[in-house]
Amino acid sequence: MSESFLEFVGWVPGIILPGATLLQLVKIWRSRSVEGISLGAWCMFGTANVCMFIYAQNYTDLQTIFAFLGTAVLNFAIVAAVLGFGKSGGESPSK
């Protein structure tokens, strides 16, 4: 396969993974509601992304940084939102 194709394919998860997570975070932020959001699932997503970054051993590759570390930061931001809005909004987040 060509180098440019592999470069493109590497950016697909680097954009989609944090992008999809950012959509969830924006929805939570705008609605100030964490109803139906699973705290446990987002903790596991964040942990898995950090572990995959370590496993990939590609620490300077931008695609890997965006796909795994960028997504992990957003995953843990969702965890923080669930903990914060769950307490202040009176809603109990899903476990």
87 pLDDT higher than 70? no
Q: Which one-letter DSSP state was computed for residue 57?
A: T
Looking at the DSSP assignment, which residues form a beta bridge with residue 94?
A: 38
Q: What is the pLDDT of residues 8-47, one digit of tens each?
A: 998 999 999 999 999 999 999 999 999 999 999 999 999 9
Task: Report pLDDT for 90.
Answer: 42
93 pLDDT higher than 80? no
Task: Report pLDDT for 86.
Answer: 80
Instruction: Give the CA angle between residues 10, 22, 43 to the nearest 5°.
Output: 90
What is the spatial distance between Cα 76 and Cα 26, in angstroms, rounded to a whole number? 14
Confidence of residue 94 (pLDDT cuts 50, 70, 90): low
The candidate with the shortest Cα–Cα distance to 71, out of 20, 8, 10, is 20
Torsion, Cα of 62, 67, 70, 76 (10° steps): -160
What is the spatial distance between Cα 66 and Cα 90, in angstroms, rounded to a whole number? 34
Task: Report pLDDT for 15.
Answer: 94
Please give the model's pTM, rounded to 2 decimal places.
0.84
Task: Report pLDDT for 92.
Answer: 52
